[in-house]
Amino acid sequence: MANVVVTGGAGFVGSRLARELLAAGSLGLAGGAAAPLSRVTLIDRSPPPADLAGADVIFHLAAAVSAECEADFDLGMRANLRATESLFAACRALATNPVVVFSSSLAVFGGSAEHPLPAVVDDHTLPNPQSSYGTQKFIGEQLLADYTRKGFLRGRAVRLMTVTVRPGRPNAAASGFFSSIIREPLAGRRAVCPVGAQTEVALMSPARAIDGLLCAATSSDEAWGGRTAVTLPALTTTVADMIAALERAARPGAGALIDWVPDPQVARLVASWPARVRARRAERLGLAPDPDFGSIIGMHLAESR
């Protein structure tokens, strides 16, 4: 029997992951045989419990997002660093060596004068975060690797791309507009785009994000291939191409519902993230990027009906 804990379980990715787990009814951990799920516990906006009830696998998705971490440094440190440290310590206290899947981010990469961002990041690119959020995620990766090295848990860190199209109301993520410029016009509402039309971005659909998280939990140690984080595959596109796909999926003129209002702070954060990814390690695990942005819109429309 497998006992699963999902932090951030009330969020978009966390709740979707929980539905996938419940629909499957079983999970094979770290290359083992599939075992029926005995319990799926969702934790959100609360400290990790002292005892995680013997959890076999913990998906740690809870986090304060990029723009709010830039606006409130202390919030990011509490939510993304101290809470993560507390969770790992609680996992160690279990003394059961649980599998811990940590959702990291492409924001661990960035460019600086002494270490320019390469045109394409790959499995050997040195992280160089240019935001508090990216720094906190990279520290989380390193903590997870050391807890794994010490045998306290079996850590698997995955670097997610910008996940879109997210339903519901926008959150405080700097990348949130990548969803709203599609979601709102599809519903006949106006949206704001804070960056230029030729801005490139690395994207993934919610379905590809779930594929990556589940692959991290189920892959054998040999297949996973070490303690460092796995960067997931990405679809590279531009804002202009996203809007063209929107108009093909909705109606001509849907792009006219987008207001172009430059935001230098958001643009700086977005520009610091890599837009092109060569994810060979993830590909060896059987993971693939979305084929095109039109397919991502199609999935969003199908799930919104």
Distance CA 273, CA 266 (A): 11
Catalytic residue list: 133
Provide, for the chain, the percentages of residues in helix, strand and coil under a 3-state DSSP scheme, each rounded to the nearest 5.
45, 20, 40
Query: Which secondary structure element, helix H or strand E, spans residue 241, and what is its range?
Result: helix 239-249
Q: Are 293 and 203 in contact (CB under 8 A)?
A: yes
In this structure, the strands spanning 57-60 and 258-260 are unpaired
**What would the two tokens of residue 268 be?**
């700086």
* 234 φ, ψ (degrees, to nearest 5): -130, 150
Residue 220 CA, distance from chain mean position: 21
**What would the two tokens of residue 111 be?**
């460019």
